[in-house]
C-alpha cells in the first residue's frame, strides 16, 4: 500500500542534498550527533540544517524550516519530537522532498497512540510520494555519496555488501564489526518500524543495485500483512542472481518475546522460516559473527562445484581440527588420487602423511609450499582448498626478533624474518592466481594473532579469503557450496550468479569496487 | 611405567639452568630459533649452548658437550638429529640433568624404526629419572621463570591458565590467540609423542600448581595402554578443585583418520569420550575459539548458582539475539518480579520494555545505566547478568569526532567523548564491585570494534569478563553453570572450587597472578 517506488530509494541512497530537521547545539542530542556524523563522513552532497529556534549549529547557518532553503532537497533527516513529525512531513511534501529518514521514536512501537501518529505520517508521505524510512530508524549509509546519516559514529568502508537491519543497534554494529574483518559495504538501512518501506523493499533495491554483489539482512519478523508473499517473490528472483544471507532473530521462545517487545515483529515459527529460506535459496547465518563471515566469503570467492576439500596445513593438529570441521559442516575431506600423492611425494619429506590433510610437516621451504598448493588447488580431486598457517606468520617473528631485548645479534634473525615476509607475499600472489586460474575457492586460515598491516592490505587487495579459525573457514565454505547447489538445482546455470562478475574474475577487487554505475 | 615423578616436572617448569643441545648459527634451524626465543623471552635462569662443531652462536660461548659445562644443568633442550638423541640423553644422564625436552622428530610417529629409537631414549631417560618431554614436541613455556623454550616465536603473557596440547602448532597457536583475548598462561607443554610424560601427567601437575586456576587441554586421543584409567583418576580428583576444559579433536571419521596420521592417537568414539568427560566434570569446548572463551570465563568469574540470566541492553536487537543465545545454550531468560520491574520503572523512560531483556532504549544517562545494572545484578530474580553495549563505546566516538576532517567545531564533540569515557570507567568499576558484592557473574559484550587500550587494560585489571558477541557470552555462561551443577551434584560443596580463590574475591587480579608460591 504505502510502498515507495524504487526510484525514490535511488534518491534516498544517492541524494544531492539533505536537510537535517531538528539540528541542535547540544552534543547529547541526535540533532548534533547525526549532522556531525554526516560532516565528518565527508558527504559529497550538500547538508542543510533546520531548526526555527537556532541561528547556528556546528558553525553553519540554520534554516527556520525546510521551505526556507532555496535549493532543492532530496532527503530529509528528521529528529524532531514525534508529535511534530506529521507537520514536518507535510512541509517536506510541499518542498518536494523525495525521501525522509525519520530517526524519531515514539510511534507504532509504543502503543495505540503512537500507531495512530505513525499512520498519519505514512499517509502524508505516501500521498506526496515520499520514500519513508522508519520511523524509529538509526539511519542510512551509502558509500556512493559517502553518506553516514547514522546515530552511532560508525565508519564502514566502501565495498560490495548491502545490509538491511530491523535492529538499528545491531545493524550499525555489523557495519562496525565489518571493518574489522575487511568487509566493505555499498549501502545500509536501519529499517526501523517499517511503517512504509519494508525489509523486502530494500532487498529488492539492493538486488538491482549494480554495486551490490552480496545482500545481508537482520530480520526479527516480516512486517507485511501479506504473510511474507512479497518478501518471497522478491527473494526468489534475487537469489538467482545474488546471494542473500539472513540472520533470523527471535528463534527461541524468549527471543521471540523480546522481538515482539523490541520491534513489534511476530517472530513466527523457527521451522517455517528456516524451511522457507532454504526453499528460496537464502543463506542462513546462525550467529552474528557468521553473518559477516559469510558475507566475506560470498563477496570474494567463486563457488565450489562440489564438496571435496583439500587441506594444506603447516601443522598436524590444525589439520585434524579442519578435517573435523569440514565433515561437521557437511563437506568431504577429499580422497587424494595415487597420481596426486606421488606428485606430492616428490616435494615433501618421505615421512609426510601421504593423504589429506596434506601436512607440510614443518618444512620451511617456501618453494615446497607453493608447489604443494599448486598441486592441491589444481587437482581434479578437490573442489576447494583450505590453506592453514602459510600466510601471515612473518611479522610476528620479525617483531619479536627485532624489538625484544636480550638478543645480542639480530642479523640472522632479521634475515629469517625477511625470508618469511617474502614467503607471505609469494603465497598471497599464488593463491590469488590459482583462484582465477581454476575458478575454485582457496580459503586461508591465518594461524597468527598478529595483524600485519602489510599482509592484510595485500590480502584485501588480492581478495584472499581469510579466517582466524578452521571452523569458521569450513563453515563459510559449506555455505558457498550450499548456494552453488541451490543455483545448480533451481536454475541449472552451473552454479554461477549471473548478474555481476565476482572480483576474482577481474584480478583487482579495488577496481571493481570503485567502478562507476555507468559501466 | 616410564612416568616421571612430579618433582621433576617442577624442575621442568622452573629450571635454574638450561642447556640447548644442537645450537646453530643458521637462522633457518631450530638450533638458532629456539635459543633466540629463550633469550628474547628473557628467561630468568642461565642458558648454555652446546654443539661440538661451533665456537660461538648468538654471540655466546658454545660448549662441545653438556658435560663440558661446569655448572649444574636442570633442563636440556635437544634439537640434534634423531639418530643422536639416545647418546645425547646418555650424556644428560651422566650430567644429572633433571628433565629433557626433545624437539627432534623422526621417532614413533614415523614408523617401526623410529619407534625403536624412541623406546631406547625413553629407557635411558627413565633409568636416570629424567622427565622426558616429547619427543617431537614444540617445547615448553613457563611464566614463573619467563621461559619460552618454543619453536614458534609466540609470547603468551603470565596468567592463571595452564595448557597441555597433543599438537604443538595448535598449542602454540592457542598461546598466541590467548594474548588477543586477554588470557594469560602459567604453563604450557607441547606433549609431542608422549613417549614418557603424557597429557594426564601434565594435568596432574597443573592440578597441584598453586598458580594455575584453570587447566585447558587439546587432546586427539589418550596414549596410555591403560584405556584412559589414569587420565580418569587424575581428572576426577582435579575437577573437584579446578576446572579442566578440553577440546577433543578427531571427532569425525576424517578427523580421526587425520589424528592417527598426525599423532598416532586412536581418536576413539566421539560418544564415549563425550560421556566420559561429562561424568568427570570436564568442560568440553566445541571450537578452538570456544576453548579460549571458556578459559577466560573460568579464570575470572564466579560460578552462577542457577541458570536465570538478566540481560541489560543498550539496543533492542542485541537483546533479542542474546535471549535466543541464552535459551539455545540451555540458560533461562529470567522472569523479572513485579517488584524489580517497578524499581526499574523509576529509572527508565515510561515506554521501556517492562521485562527481560531490560532495554535501556538508547538512554544516554550514565546514572540510569548504573542504577539498572545494580537493580538487575543484585536481584534475587537473576543468577547472572549479561551487559550489552555499555562498555567501551567511547573511544570510537572521540576518535571520529577528533580525527575526522570536515567538522568545524569539535568542542562539543570532545565534551561528549569525555562524558562517554568517564561512563566506561564508572561501569567497569561498578561491574567489578557488583561481582564481588553478589558473587554472581556479570558478563559484558562490547558492541564496538574499537580496541580502546585504556578500557582493555582497565577491564583486565578489574577482571571484567568481555566477549565480542552475545552468542559467545551466553555459551561461556552456560558452561560456568554446567560446572557449578557438576560441583554441586558431585561434591555437594555448593558449587565452589575449593583450592584457590578466584580473582574476583581478591579485587585485584594482577596481585593474584603475581603472588609468590609461598603465599
Q: What is the pLDDT of residues B486-503, one digit of tens each?
A: 998 876 655 454 334 555
Q: Mean pLDDT check: name the lowest of A244-253, A432-441, B25-34.
A: B25-34
pLDDT above 50: residue A2: no
Confidence of residue A265 (pLDDT cuts 50, 70, 90): confident
pTM: 0.89
Confidence of residue A153 (pLDDT cuts 50, 70, 90): confident
From B251, B415, B468, residue closest to A324, measured CB to CB? B251
Q: What is the pLDDT of residue B509?
A: 39
Mean pLDDT, range A395-411, rounded to an integer: 54
Answer positive or negative: Cα dihedral of A45, A51, A52, A54: negative
Q: Tell me the residues of chain A between 64 and 103 that have a Cβ less than 8 Å away from chain B.
A: none
pLDDT above 90: residue A205: yes
Q: Is the CB of residue A96 less than 8 Å from the CB of residue A9?
A: no
The residue among A468, A480, A128 whose CA lies nearest residue A318 is A468
Flag if B40 and A289 touch (Cβ within 8 Å): no
pLDDT above 80: residue A450: no
Q: What is the pLDDT of residue B480?
A: 97
Q: Which of A177, A290, A324 is the best substitution to test chain B (most B C-beta atoms within 10 A)? A: A324
Please report, for residues A94, B362, B394, B397, B455, the alpha-carbon distance to residue B415 in angstroms, rounded to integers and kept in the order given: 38, 19, 11, 11, 18
Q: Tell me the residues of chain B between 122 and 161 that have a Cβ less than 8 Å away from chain A.
A: 152-155
Quote the minimal CA–CA distance from B499 to chain A in Å. 32
Q: What is the pLDDT of residue B4?
A: 44
pLDDT above 50: residue B198: yes
Flag if B323 and A171 touch (Cβ within 8 Å): no
More confident residue, A446 or A448: A446
- Edge-to-edge strands, sheet with A139-142: A147-150, A139-142, A185-190, A158-165, A214-219, A244-248, A283-285
Q: What is the pLDDT of residue B287?
A: 93
The residue among B161, B167, B165, B213 whose CA lies nearest residue B187 is B161
Please tell me what DSSP assigns to residue B21. Answer: E
Mean pLDDT, range B306-328, rounded to an integer: 93
More confident residue, A92 or B421: A92
Q: Mean pLDDT check: name the lowest of A20-29, A435-444, A495-504, B287-296.
A: A495-504
pLDDT above 80: residue B15: yes
| Other beta carbons within 10 Å of B412 | 20
Q: Which of A258, A392, A410, A418 is the best substitution to test chain B (most B C-beta atoms within 10 A)? A: A258
Q: Is the CB of residue B421 less than 8 Å from the CB of residue B450?
A: no
Per-residue pLDDT tens over the stretch A99-122? 999 999 999 988 899 999 999 999
Q: What is the pLDDT of residue A49?
A: 98
Distance of CA A28 to the CA centre of its chain: 30
Non-local CB neighbours of A70 within 8 Å, separated by 6+ positions? none
Flag if B263 and A321 touch (Cβ within 8 Å): no
Q: What is the pLDDT of residue B513?
A: 40
Q: Mean pLDDT check: name the lowest of A231-245, A352-366, B241-255.
A: A352-366
Residues found in chain A: 519
Confidence of residue B510 (pLDDT cuts 50, 70, 90): very low
Q: Is the CB of residue B160 less than 8 Å from the CB of residue B127?
A: no
Confidence of residue B75 (pLDDT cuts 50, 70, 90): very high
From B289, B317, B415, residue closest to A218, measured CB to CB? B317
Per-residue pLDDT tens over the stretch A54-113? 999 988 999 999 999 999 999 999 999 999 999 999 999 999 999 999 999 999 988 899
Q: Tell me the residues of chain A between 271 and 290 that have a Cβ less than 8 Å away from chain B.
A: 287-289
Q: Please give the grid coordinates belonging to residue B7.
A: 618433582
pLDDT above 90: residue B212: yes
Residue A328: closest C-alpha in chain B = B252
Quote the minimal CA–CA distance from B363 to chain A in Å. 10
Q: What is the pLDDT of residue B420?
A: 62
Residue B74 backbone dihedrals phi, psi, to 5 degrees: -80, -50
Q: Tell me if chain A has a CB within 8 Å of the CB of B323.
A: yes
Flag if A167 and B320 touch (Cβ within 8 Å): yes
Confidence of residue B400 (pLDDT cuts 50, 70, 90): low
Q: CA-to-CA distance for A276 and A270, rounded, in angstroms?
A: 10
Residue A183 backbone dihedrals phi, psi, to 5 degrees: -100, 125
CA dihedral B278, B329, B501, B243 (to 10 degrees): 20
Q: What is the pLDDT of residue A206?
A: 97
From B33, B262, B324, residue closest to A319, measured CB to CB? B262
Maximum mean pLDDT: which of A310-324, A440-454, B322-336? B322-336
Distance of CA B38 to the CA centre of its chain: 21
Q: What is the mean pLDDT of chain A?
A: 86
Q: Please give the grid coordinates belonging to residue A7.
A: 526510484
Q: What is the pLDDT of residue A259?
A: 86
Mean pLDDT, range B497-518, rounded to an integer: 43
Which residues of chain B make contact with A389, given a CB cutoff of 8 A?
169
Quote the minimal CA–CA distance from B389 to chain A in Å. 9
Q: What is the mean pLDDT of chain B?
A: 86
Residues found in chain B: 519
Characterize the bridge pairing of strands B465-467 and B442-445.
parallel
Per-residue pLDDT tens over the stretch B242-265? 999 999 999 988 888 888 877 777
Q: Tell me the residues of chain A between 105 and 124 that have a Cβ less than 8 Å away from chain B.
A: 105-106, 109-111
Mean pLDDT, range A11-25, rounded to an integer: 97
Flag if B409 and A317 touch (Cβ within 8 Å): no
Confidence of residue A393 (pLDDT cuts 50, 70, 90): low
Q: Is the CB of residue B373 less than 8 Å from the CB of residue B433?
A: no
Q: Mean pLDDT check: name the lowest of B8-17, B43-52, B256-265.
A: B256-265
pLDDT above 90: residue A352: no
The residue among B437, B34, B457 whose CA lies nearest residue A401 is B34
Q: Is the CB of residue A153 less than 8 Å from the CB of residue B401?
A: yes
Q: Tell me the residues of chain A between 437 and 496 that have a Cβ less than 8 Å away from chain B.
A: 447-449, 468-472
Flag if B359 and A262 touch (Cβ within 8 Å): yes
Mean pLDDT, range A376-395, rounded to an integer: 83
Q: Tell me if chain B has a CB within 8 Å of the CB of A366.
A: no
Mean pLDDT, range A139-162, rounded to an integer: 93
The residue among B75, B78, B28, B82 whose CA lies nearest residue B51 is B78
Residue B393 backbone dihedrals phi, psi, to 5 degrees: -85, -10
Flag if A318 and B173 touch (Cβ within 8 Å): yes
| Other beta carbons within 10 Å of B506 | 15
Amino acid at each position: 500500500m504505502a510502498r515507495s517506488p524504487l526510484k525514490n530509494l535511488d534518491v534516498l541512497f544517492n541524494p544531492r542534498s539533505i536537510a537535517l530537521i531538528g539540528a541542535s547545539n547540544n552534543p547529547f542530542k541526535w540533532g548534533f550527533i547525526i549532522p556531525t556524523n554526516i560532516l565528518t563522513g565527508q558527504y559529497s552532497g550538500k547538508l542543510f540544517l533546520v531548526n526555527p529556534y537556532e541561528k547556528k549549529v556546528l558553525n553553519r547557518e540554520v534554516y527556520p524550516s525546510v521551505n526556507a532553503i532555496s535549493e532543492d532537497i532530496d532527503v530529509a533527516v528528521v529528529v524532531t519530537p514525534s508529535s511534530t513529525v506529521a507537520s514536518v512531513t507535510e512541509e517536506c511534501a510541499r518542498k518536494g522532498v523525495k525521501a525522509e529518514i525519520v530517526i524519531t521514536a515514539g510511534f507504532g512501537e509504543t502503543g495505540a497512540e503512537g500507531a495512530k501518529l505513525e499512520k498519519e505520517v505514512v499517509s502524508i508521505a505516501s500521498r506526496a510520494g515520499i520514500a519513508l524510512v522508519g520511523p524509529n530508524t538509526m539511519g542510512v549509509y551509502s558509500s556512493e555519496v559517502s553518506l553516514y546519516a547514522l546515530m552511532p559514529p560508525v565508519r564502514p568502508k566502501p565495498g560490495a555488501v548491502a545490509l538491511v537491519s530491523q535492529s538499528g543497534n545491531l545493524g550499525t554494529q555489523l557495519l562496525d564489526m565489518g571493518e574489522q574483518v575487511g568487509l566493505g559495504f555499498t549501502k545500509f538501512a536501519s529499517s526501523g518500524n517499517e511503517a512504509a518501506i519494508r525489509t523486502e523493499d530494500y532487498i529488492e533495491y539492493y538486488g538491482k543495485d549494480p554495486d551490490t554483489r552480496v545482500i545481508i539482512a537482520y530480520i526479527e519478523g516480516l512486517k507485511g500483512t501479506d504473510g511474507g508473499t512479497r518478501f518471497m517473490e522478491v527473494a526468489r528472483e534475487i537469489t538467482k542472481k545474488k546471494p542473500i544471507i539472513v540472520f533470523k532473530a527471535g528463534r527461541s521462545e524468549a527471543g521471540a518475546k523480546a522481538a515482539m517487545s523490541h520491534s513489534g515483529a511476530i517472530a513466527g515459527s523457527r521451522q517455517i522460516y528456516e524451511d522457507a529460506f532454504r526453499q528460496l535459496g537464502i543463506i542462513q547465518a546462525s550467529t552474528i559473527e557468521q553473518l559477516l563471515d559469510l558475507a566475506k566469503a560470498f563477496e570474494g570467492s567463486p563457488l565450489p562445484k562440489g564438496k571435496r576439500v583439500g587441506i594444506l596445513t603447516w601443522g598436524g593438529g590444525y589439520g585434524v581440527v579442519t578435517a573435523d570441521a569440514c565433515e561437521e559442516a557437511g563437506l568431504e575431506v577429499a580422497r587424494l588420487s595415487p597420481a596426486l600423492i606421488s606428485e606430492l611425494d616428490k616435494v615433501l619429506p618421505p615421512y609426510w602423511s601421504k593423504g589429506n590433510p596434506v601436512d607440510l610437516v614443518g618444512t620451511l621451504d617456501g618453494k615446497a609450499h607453493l608447489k604443494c598448493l599448486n598441486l592441491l588447488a589444481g587437482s581434479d580431486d578437490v573442489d576447494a582448498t583450505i590453506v592453514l598457517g602459510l600466510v601471515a606468520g612473518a611479522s610476528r617473528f620479525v617483531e619479536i626478533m627485532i624489538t625484544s631485548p636480550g638478543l645480542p645479534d639480530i642479523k640472522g634473525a632479521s634475515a629469517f624474518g625477511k625470508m618469511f615476509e617474502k614467503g607471505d607475499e609469494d603465497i598471497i600472489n599464488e593463491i590469488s592466481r590459482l583462484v582465477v586460474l581454476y575458478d575454485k575457492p582457496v580459503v586461508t586460515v591465518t594461524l597468527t594473532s598478529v595483524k600485519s598491516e602489510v599482509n592484510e592490505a595485500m590480502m584485501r587487495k588480492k581478495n584472499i579469503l581469510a579466517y582466524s579459525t578452521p571452523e569458521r573457514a569450513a563453515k563459510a565454505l559449506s555455505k558457498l557450496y550450499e548456494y552453488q547447489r541451490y543455483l545448480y538445482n533451481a536454475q541449472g546455470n552451473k552454479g554461477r550468479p549471473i548478474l555481476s562478475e565476482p572480483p576474482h574474475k577481474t584480478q583487482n577487487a579495488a577496481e571493481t569496487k570503485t567502478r562507476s554505475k555507468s559501466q
